[in-house]
């Protein structure tokens, strides 16, 4: 019989790919949905999985510990992937308290429920490169021992979650691993994150459906990988014989301006004619540069990504071209 996993954030970008990945491996997958008034499109990323008997969905919320207790008791999950969060950095400046509660305290609610109900379960925490802030090692990379100095409410909340996971691992001998994941994208990325915003607007401009793309800081650089590669890394971390923390990144970094130039090249347009900037997309404090060294993950778990930045952006731009011409 296959294993049982619980995914919080199952209807998000990563949750949807992870659910697919685990179901293909023979797992029974439980997922939690937080209540949303628009039921029709809340599950659009996992609707193609809805008819499989291996998928079980329950209403629950990281802020409602009783609901987490109920789902843990019902699912009897052996692996728990905590992917739920208010995950948008810019929005975390507008909603800092909600972000701290859901992304930070929400993780503690789940950990405490796991400690009381199923301490033998393995736990994956979705930690983030945003925790490093602007600290960079001398060689230009961030890695597991780079000091953390977050520059957003989201980053601060993730540092709390990361540390409380380590504290629970050490205090109670639980199997809890932090994946410190750098930016990862896909056609399922929310279109208010920069890669999918640029891919979508490049396609819309090409098709005559739009005539402008308004961005914030285009000088920032990010290490962008593909979400499909990164959910495999999450699973690998929980198959390892020892709970630990791992950076997951491509090791290649590009500026937002390079991203714009690359997407407009795919649709054969000159970005200078369409792209402008506006203060509303700037952050009160910016994280300037991210580039991850995932040597530990690659050598210990034998992980390596299948996608490049270029193949991923081709997939995303073509997804939107197809979407608007169907
Ligand atoms: P995402 O698309 O924004 O998905 C977040 C998920 O969390 C959604 O399913 C959302 O549900 C759910 N959620 C939010 N608040 C909740 C709450 N209080 N209770 C229960 N569910 C809640 O994020 P993602 O890109 O898949 O990222 C997955 C995780 O990895 C997040 O924790 C994120 O912070 C972290 N991370 C992401 C990246 C990246 O580059 N993608 C990098 C490092 C770390 P609704 O959609 O219904 O609101
Ligand atoms: O911004 C700049 C922006 O919002 C990337 C989350 O998954 O990765 C993600 O956080 C860069 C930043 O991602 C726009 O200022 C310019 O420098 O796509 P993003 P993020 O903030 O790096 C980390 C690892 C996570 O953990 C988070 O959950 O692009 N930028 N102009 C813009 N960004 C947005 N969103 N929109 C713009 O118009």
Q: Are residues 312 and 168 in the same domain?
A: no
Cα-Cα-Cα-Cα torsion 195, 140, 157, 180, nearest 10 degrees, comes to 80
Q: What string of pLDDT tens digits covers the 326 residues of the chain?
A: 799 999 999 999 999 999 999 999 999 999 999 999 988 889 999 999 999 999 999 999 999 999 999 999 999 999 999 999 999 999 999 999 999 999 999 999 999 999 999 999 999 999 999 999 999 999 999 999 999 999 999 999 999 999 999 999 999 999 999 999 999 999 999 999 999 999 999 999 999 999 999 999 999 999 999 999 999 999 999 999 999 999 999 999 999 999 999 999 999 999 999 999 999 999 999 999 999 999 999 999 999 999 999 999 999 999 999 999 98
Q: In angstroms, rounded to a whole number, what is the distance separating the alpha carbons of residues 289 and 325? A: 36
Is residue 154 annotated as part of the catalytic site, yes or no?
yes
Helix (H) or strand (E) holding 227: helix 227-239
212 assigned to some structural domain: yes
Q: Are residues 237 and 277 in the same domain?
A: no
301 assigned to some structural domain: no
Q: In angstroms, rounded to a whole number, what is the distance separating the alpha carbons of residues 187 and 161? A: 28
Neighbours of 71 (CB within 10 A): 23
- Give the model's pLDDT for residue 18: 98
Q: What stretches of 95-172 adopt beta strand conformation (E)?
A: 122-128
Q: Are residues 169 and 274 in the same domain?
A: no
Q: Are residues 265 and 154 in the same domain?
A: no
Q: In angstroms, rounded to a whole number, what is the distance separating the alpha carbons of residues 324 and 305? A: 29
8 assigned to some structural domain: yes
Listed residue (266, 199, 189, 258) closest to 223, CA to CA: 258
Q: Could you identify the atom of ligand 2 that is nearest to the CA of residue 277? A: 31
- Give the model's pLDDT for residue 148: 98
- The interaxial angle of helices 106-117 and 153-172, nearest 10 deg, is 20
Q: Are residues 208 and 237 in the same domain?
A: no
Q: Are residues 15 and 148 in the same domain?
A: yes
Q: How far is the CA of 151 from the centre of ligand 2 (A)?
A: 13
Q: Are residues 206 and 229 in the same domain?
A: no
Listed residue (139, 280, 266) closest to 195, CA to CA: 266
Q: Are residues 150 and 178 in the same domain?
A: yes
- Give the model's pLDDT for residue 114: 98
294 assigned to some structural domain: no
298 assigned to some structural domain: no
Q: Are residues 133 and 207 in the same domain?
A: no
Listed residue (201, 207, 205, 172) closest to 281, CA to CA: 201
Domain boundaries, position 315 = 194-221+253-289+308-325
Q: Of 87, 102, 127, 128, which one is the catalytic site residue?
A: 128
Q: Are residues 124 and 210 in the same domain?
A: no
| Mutation to probe ligand 2, out of 84, 87, 89, 201 (largest number of atoms < 8 A from CB) | 89
- Note the residue count of the chain: 326
First to last CA, the chain: 41
- Give the model's pLDDT for residue 156: 99
- Cβ atoms of 85 and 126 within 8 Å: the answer is yes
98 assigned to some structural domain: yes
The number of domains in the chain is 2
**Measured CA angle at 31 (ends 30, 33), to 5 deg:** 150
Helix (H) or strand (E) holding 107: helix 106-117
Q: Are residues 91 and 233 in the same domain?
A: yes
Furthest-apart CA pair in the chain: how many Å? 58
CATH of the domain at 203: 3.90.25.10
**Measured CA angle at 279 (ends 276, 282), to 5 deg:** 100
Is residue 79 annotated as part of the catalytic site, yes or no?
no
Kindly give, in sequence order, each residue whose CB lies less than 8 Å from that of residue 97, ignoring residues fewer than 6 positions away. Answer: none
């Amino acid at each position: 019989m296959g294993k049982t996993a619980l995914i919080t954030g199952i209807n998000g970008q990563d949750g949807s790919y992870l659910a697919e990945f685990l179901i293909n491996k023979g797992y029974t997958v439980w997922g939690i949905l937080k209540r949303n008034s628009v039921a029709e499109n809340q599950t659009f990323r996992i609707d193609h999985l809805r008819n499989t008997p291996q998928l079980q969905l329950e209403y629950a919320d990281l802020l409602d510990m009783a609901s987490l207790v109920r789902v843990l008791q019902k699912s009897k999950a052996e692996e728990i992937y905590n992917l739920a969060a208010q995950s948008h950095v810019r929005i975390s400046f507008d909603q800092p308290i909600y972000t701290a509660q859901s992304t930070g305290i929400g993780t503690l609610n789940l950990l405490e429920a796991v400690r009381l109900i199923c301490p033998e379960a393995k736990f994956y925490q979705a930690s983030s490169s945003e925790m490093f802030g602007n600290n960079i090692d001398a060689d230009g990379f961030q890695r597991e021992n780079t000091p953390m100095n977050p520059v957003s409410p989201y980053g601060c909340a993730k540092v709390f979650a990361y540390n409380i996971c380590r504290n629970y691992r050490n205090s109670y001998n639980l199997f809890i691993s932090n994946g410190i994941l750098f930016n990862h994208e896909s056609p399922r990325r929310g279109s208010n994150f920069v890669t999918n915003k640029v891919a979508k607007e490049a396609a819309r401009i090409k098709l005559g459906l739009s005539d402008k793309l308004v961005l914030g800081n285009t000088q920032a650089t990010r290490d962008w990988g593909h979400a499909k590669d990164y959910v495999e890394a999450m699973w690998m971390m929980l198959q390892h014989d020892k709970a630990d923390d791992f950076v997951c990144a491509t090791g290649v970094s590009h500026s937002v301006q390079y991203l714009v130039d690359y997407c407009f090249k795919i649709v054969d347009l000159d970005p200078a004619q369409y792209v402008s900037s506006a203060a509303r997309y700037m952050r009160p404090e910016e994280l300037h540069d991210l580039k991850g060294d995932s040597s530990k993950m690659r050598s210990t778990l034998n992980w390596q990504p299948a996608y490049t930045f270029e193949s991923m952006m081709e997939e995303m731009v073509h997804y939107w071209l197809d979407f608007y011409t169907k």
